[in-house]
Amino acid sequence: MRIAVPVWDELVSPVLDTAQVLRIYEVDNGKILSKKDFSCVGSDATLPEIAVEKADILICGALSLEIEEKLISQGLKVHPWAMGECDTIIEHYLRGQIRCCEYTMPGCRYGKRRGCSRRRRDSSK
């Protein structure tokens, strides 16, 4: 399985739409095998395009509804509103704990924030 995370200073980038680095984690049997960073700076590809091409799952912070719907329609499982240190987020995802309050962006607790309720926060469900 390949998991993509937009990165800013080793943290999940707060906004996917403006992130410049995407980290791809190769995972097998609940363990991180490798990770590689891809930059969209100086590239014709955008981070969402790189994610669709190189990953099965995207864990990110905030993102526009338009980009989220496009990624889902292209077969990517999207888990938005995550925050924290990238490796820690991946480890919690692998244990099924990605939606812990501690790793969810403030103000977006399962539709309690105005506007969040119209989004599909977890496209794998």
Question: Does 123 map to a domain?
Answer: no
Residue 100 belongs to domain with CATH number: 3.30.420.130
| Residue owning tokens 């496209």 | 123
Amino acid at 120: R
Number of domains composing the chain: 1
What is the spatial distance between Cα 69 and Cα 10, in angstroms, rounded to a whole number? 26
What's the distance, Cα to Cα, between the start and end of the chain in Å? 17
Helices 47-54 and 65-73: crossing angle in degrees, nearest 10, is 20
What is the spatial distance between Cα 34 and Cα 69, in angstroms, rounded to a whole number? 28
Average pLDDT, the chain: 83
pTM for the whole thing? 0.82
Question: Does 51 map to a domain?
Answer: yes
Query: Among residues 103, 43, 48, which one has the least CA distance to residue 75?
Result: 48
| Residue owning tokens 């244990």 | 95
The pLDDT value given to residue 121: 45
Kindly report, residue by residue over 15-66, the tens digit of the pLDDT: 988 888 999 999 999 999 999 999 888 777 788 888 899 999 999 999 888 9
Question: Does 23 map to a domain?
Answer: yes
> Could you list the residue range(s) of the whole structural domain that residue 44 is in?
2-118
Question: Does 125 map to a domain?
Answer: no
Asked if the model's pLDDT at residue 122 lies above 50, the reply is no
